[in-house]
Amino acid sequence: MSVVVNEDEHEREMWMSKVPQLNDRTEFPPEALQLGMQEGIQSMIKFGVFKEVDSSRMTREQQQSAITSRWVPKWKGDKVKSR
């Protein structure tokens, strides 16, 4: 008896065995999430996206007009990307 193995399926199974298996793909391991945020900050610094300022040196008007933000993590392959 011979067994025919689909190479693409075998490679996919090998790759999937290395991907962190979580109950829900919206869950993020803390270490991966932290690394994703650090990489996101480095990218924003590299592209000059923001300017960090001490809020105590801002006028009340400047503080009120400051834009709020939040992290949005997403799986990209086996890594977590945060923007």
pLDDT, one tens digit for every residue, the chain (83 residues): 544 555 667 676 666 565 555 445 568 999 999 999 999 999 998 999 888 889 999 999 999 998 888 999 999 998 999 98
Positive or negative: CA dihedral 66, 40, 18, 77? positive
Q: Which domain holds residue 38?
A: 7-82
Collapsing DSSP to helix, strand or coil, 67 comes out as coil
State pTM to two decimals: 0.58
Distance, first Cα to last Cα, the chain: 52
Q: Does some domain include residue 2? A: no
**Contact call for residues 5 and 13 (beta carbons, < 8 A):** no
Structural domain total, the chain: 1
Q: Does some domain include residue 59? A: yes
Q: Does some domain include residue 1? A: no
